[in-house]
Amino acid sequence: MPSARDLFKRLRVLVLEHHDVQRALTVKTLLGIGSIDVLQAADGQGALALLQRHGGVDIALCDIQTLVVDGLAFLSCVSEARLVSGVIICSAMPGELVHAVEQIVRLQGLEWLGHAGKPALAQVLNPLLQAYRANSRPRIARPSVAPDQPGAEEIHRGINRQEFCAWFQPKFHLSNGLIQGAEVLLRWQRSPGEVWSPATFLPAVEQYGLLDTIFFSLFEQGLRLQRHMCSAGNGFKLAFNLEASQLACPHFVDRIRDMLSAHGASPASVTFELTETGLLQAPGMCITNMVRLRMLGCDLSIDDFGVGYSSLERLCQLPFNEVKLDAGFIRDFKQPRSGAVISAVLGLARGLNMRVVAEGIETIEQLRSLQSLGCHLGQGYLYARPMSEAHMTNWAFTGDPALWRTAVSPAG
């Protein structure tokens, strides 16, 4: 029979405790039991940053007072980012308060492992840890990425060197060829001649809990370009891609609002695009934040519309005011089924008072077909490929900056 030390040597435990002495005692107790990988933090914000840097843990051992002060947002974020599997509470509080916190933990989708009292003694913690290990479960807390994906240290180095850059693909009014704005895309500028697309690193970024860090850097870069573009007196809308998991963080919208205010940007000049497949099982906080974004004045777009599983249901339930037609339908527009889908989506959007953006426009023939069907906005290689901030600035102001007219002439 394995010893307790052998049984627990692979556990990763986070100690969340605001009191320095209590935290040190708890860490010492855990190390004595055999949990040899212990992280510690004094508050929820510091704990989240720690997990984003070092990867997830099996168990968060939380002081109940620290948790109530600022740790509830922490629980929501780590649950969505899959950075914590189970929670143990340390407290000398009455049982009814512990029970209330237990319900909160369970509602966040985390495993409730029990109450260890305070101070957390080895004879109490030991059975809780044994029960966790004895229960056969998928280990969700530790980052696991494909061998060809970059590691956490490499990504952190890229963040510190500001190598994660915003690229921009312009969007156009299809009726007259004027620029409406741009979709903001993520690229990793590894070196002057080496640019990586998200497919080569984004899964690792998500696994290591760094998606928000990179997103807000991208948001900052986009708002900076927008301010420059609008200096010529033209409106310039930006569209940013979001994962549903990002909206599960309670403070996400507050940060968006603060950054918009700092840049003097109108919320109405920003659209957030979410894929419908990511919203199939969206938690309540995600939907709440979608409503908050709309109330702030931002637009919400359902991306890749028509390739998910419950498009019409989600379109009616969630506060979208824009639809992005998937490029696959545009590419196959001559096929009867694809043509029917395009016509149906445009008609549905008109009935719901929603904009439609066609993506992946590559030929004049596709453009003319969309124009004839009454589609007003689009993007694609026919107009412009994604480009860096410097290239976007030079490209947009070539010729008459008051018009920013594309080389593709409108239908006449």
Kindly list the catalytic residues: 359
User: Residue 164 is encoded by which pair of tokens?
Assistant: 């994660």
User: Residue 146 is encoded by which pair of tokens?
Assistant: 């494909």
User: Residue 16 is encoded by which pair of tokens?
Assistant: 């969340």
The values of phi and psi at residue 185, to 5°, are: -120, 150
> Which residues are bridge partners to 61 per DSSP?
15, 88
State the Cα–Cα distance between residues 226 and 215, nearest whole angstrom.
16
Question: Three-state SS string across the chain, please?
Answer: CCCHHHHHCCCEEEEECCCHHHHHHHHHHHHHHCCCEEEEECCHHHHHHHHHHHCCEEEEEEEHHHHHHHHHHHHHHHHHCCCEEEEEEECCCCHHHHHHHHHHHHHCCCEEEEECCCCCCHHHHHHHHHHHHHCCCCCCCCCCCCCCCCCHHHHHHHHHCCCEEEEEEEEEECCCCEEEEEEEEEEEEEECCEEECHHHCHHHHHHCCCHHHHHHHHHHHHHHHHHHHHCCCCCCEEEEEECHHHHHCCCHHHHHHHHHHHHCCCHHHEEEEEEHHHHCCCCHHHHHHHHHHHHHCCEEEEEEECCCCCHHHHHHHCCCCEEEECHHHHHCCCCHHHHHHHHHHHHHHHHCCCEEEECCCCCHHHHHHHHHHCCCEECCCCCCCCEEHHHHHHHHCCCCCCCCECCCCCCC
The values of phi and psi at residue 135, to 5°, are: -80, 115
The values of phi and psi at residue 296, to 5°, are: -65, -30
> Which residues are bridge partners to 114 per DSSP?
88
Q: Exposed (0-12), middle (13-18) or buried (19+): which is 255, by Cβ within 10 Å?
A: middle
